[in-house]
Amino acid sequence: MKYVDFVNMAYTPEEADVICTFFVEPKAISIEEAAGGVAAESSIGTWTELTTVKPYVEKLAANVFSIEGNIVKIAYPLELFEPGNMPNILSSISGNVFGLEALNNLRLDDVHFPPELIRSFKGPKYGIEGVRNLLGIHDRPLVGTIIKPKLGLNPPDHAQVAYEAWVGGCDVVKDDENLSSQKFSPFEDRLIKTLEARDKAEAETGERKVYMVNITGVTQEMLRRAEFVLDQGGEYIMVDILTCGFSALQELREQDFDLVIHAHRAGHAAFTKNPKHGVSMRVIAKAARMIGVDQLHVGAVVGKMSETRVEVEENREAIMAGMDDLKRVLPVASGGLHPGLVPALIDFFDTDFIIQAGGGIHGHKDGTLAGAKAMRQAVDATLKKIPLSEYAESHGELRTALQIWGSHM
């Protein structure tokens, strides 16, 4: 079979097919041959005709069934994939095809997974509803912070920053992506001291508080750390899902720990930022949802990250829209956020999301406690439909925050 033999514009996808949408930019061949090359190389074909393809193998060929400009849709028979094996699935649809000499660019923009394949994964254990039930918060966004500086603090100082954030009004405190178990902050010491600070903050505020400790590491160490979190009374873990890999993430989810999995997408832009080449964030989001994360960073529309409003909406939809019977994943907005951006965030996300601010809390000139109060005040004002400038007249922490960073709306 030649590349063009994988182009079948008369093909009607079956319900069980995996359907991929690609942006394909050929170098010196037609779009039809380029599209067929992607279909061939990601299913049963290669650069030359083969003598080893048996009749029963031919039915496993992927079919290019739509070409509109550079947008190509390819249907893959379900039998090409091992159920419950995300590394296998992604190695197939986003593997060697990206290195084809005949292509200038190739981007996997979207994937439709059939119900039979979706059901081979555990999916989220908690999801939005489970997280809200755990915290007892049902009518507003969750307010969170990342400990800053992201590296360098010793465990007592780390715990103190967390305590001030919680007492100020944060629901969530988390590690950043590159905090692990360095000499300045051994994992066990940091966890124990920060959970002690959590308990103290809960007793003083009467509110539930959670700590998302970063357990990212080699697989067996991740599992050991997760068990240690459980033993210490923790309820959350954070994982850098791309750098640890989907295999490790699946192994973690397979343990079915009573722990909410917060997925950090560190490194995603290496795959997602180029609009013509790589893998879109919504594909990564769908894969992470199937495996079973409960929360995922999706971008923020405002702030310091580069994703467009359309991209963030696509990411959000990937983890919240109907996907067989999978639970909805809680979106996390992060990256350069501060109290002045809260109205814009709520306007976009509504209330089902986490506002995850680092510098926008710890950069408050009166400290973390004041920064957390300012963020919570911004949420309260927005939900009451009171302009931030008006609410700030009687809330000094918010007033100072607006003086530092301004207001987006």
CA distance 334 to 356: 5
* DSSP category for residue 79: G
At residue 30, φ and ψ (nearest 5 deg) are: -70, 160
Q: Which is the catalytic residue, given 73, 148, 174, 297?
A: 148
Q: Which residues pair with 146 in a beta bridge?
A: 174
| Strand ranges of the sheet holding 278-279, from the earlier edge strand across to the other edge | 63-68, 71-76, 18-26, 103-112, 278-279
Both tokens assigned to 296: 């995922």
- CB 83 within 8 Å of CB 99: no
Going by C-alpha positions, the residue among 290, 291, 265 that lies closest to residue 280 is 265
- CB 135 within 8 Å of CB 210: yes
CA distance 243 to 215: 12
Q: Which is the catalytic residue, given 73, 158, 193, 264?
A: 264
List CB contacts of 332: < 8 A, sequence separation 6 or more: 144, 262, 295, 296, 297, 298, 353, 354, 356
CA distance 27 to 173: 48
* DSSP category for residue 327: P
CA distance 104 to 107: 11
Assess whether 264 carries a catalytic annotation: yes
DSSP string of 219-283? HHHHHHHHHHHHHTT--EEEEEHHHH-HHHHHHHHHTT-SSEEEEE-TTTHHHHSSTTSEE-HHH
Assess whether 338 carries a catalytic annotation: no
Going by C-alpha positions, the residue among 349, 404, 359 that lies closest to residue 379 is 349
Write down the number of H helices and E strands in the chain: 18, 13
Q: Which residues pair with 325 in a beta bridge?
A: 323
Please identify every residue annotated as catalytic. 148, 264
